[in-house]
Structure 1
């Protein structure tokens, strides 16, 4: 798609955001993985709750707008979602749902409208919706869709940190590599934080990271950092059957301890004290870059 100039609605939306957020610095983390089934949404939600327990105001954006996940995993009732915001039927504050430990969730649409189909005027509406939010938060966690769609690439490129969730199976490693390859070569993303999920031991997690590193070191100009090894834990599945987060249902289980360690580290990751550290930058990057095929 051709890059279109930012229209007045988009520009004014960004200006309002800058004024109303009063230069509030928001940490934006995209949680992705390339492949489905690696536990990405589980990591996102449990990380959000752990950050909230550490005193941060956390907003989770369910960015899989074709197949909503976050509210389903937690058994939360959704009356209106992002589609209603974009159609003008509701404001963003009106659709936020409360999750455990005080987190807020922007619920996605399900089978209604894909973000990749949004028109420029709807992108302006997205910016305007965020700029007019009354709810303040410190951290935005973006739970991306599975796969390597334009929307996944756009959210990952726009975020300050990209958390790549992988598990020890060939398809997960292959898909994670493919995602990083496209982000690095086509979108200029050079740093990735790796979460080794559902591993049998710390050693297995380190070996998984080593496998991924060997491939990226050989073919890509990227920097990888292993930020968490989350053990395979039967209590994770038990919590899922109860439609509860495992840090809530089983706070002392090994997976919960690993996620809390990650949360403690993640809130200390530096945020650039310039435009790129503000929420308006995230949204501007999301909708206003020539690389965002299908988005502008």
Structure 2
């Protein structure tokens, strides 16, 4: 190789390296439009190089159905009706699902997607850290024929977090009207989405007629949850409810009625070890129990 060839090779390597660094910091000139027909569920993702965010299709979405959810009939009926109104382009509310962990809050939203996806419902999951991007997400889907649920799972805020204000404005606080093809469904273990402290009570005051008025701190914590039009509360399951849910999932794995009955003592012990009789715990036990059955027993 001649000296000229060596210099040229070094130059090309340096040029390739420079182009790679430029591609890492520059946003794409023409971002790819999501395939709304092929995918029903999406995640809002930030690019690792900080050059922007994008919608990532969920390739293997949960297949849970409304019929798989037991002992939450009232909550199921309300969110199903609200979602039906939404896909039919009738007035519908943003929804806040709160209460005991593992009782089906997130599963209910996923089941609604599966029930109404054929009617144009789409779901976009947004992490709490990315809630400041809500205006961009709404602008991205505004005017499309599909109906979009923005899903915020397991929300809780500390005082001063940016996402708290962004969600508050997106719900009902901006000069711009909320797009009529977008709703926000959120789950939380906290009714008011923020921690409640003993010091908050110091802000309460009594009126002359004895009425109790909350202070500014309490008002601020309540104001976000009040912007959701529909509240659904979830409660811990009773023992019989937990066993029934366990039986449902065991049956879905092909267990016979005899095997389901024999599994009851282990199911109760499993729940005791975890300190919870929730639907999630029932599902986890059913997977473990059915997976340990011998092939000849599971096919009996």
Scaled by the length of structure 1, the TM-score of the pair is 0.31
Rg (Cα) greater in structure? 2
Higher relative contact order (CA 8 A, sep 6+): 1
Scaled by the length of structure 2, the TM-score of the pair is 0.30
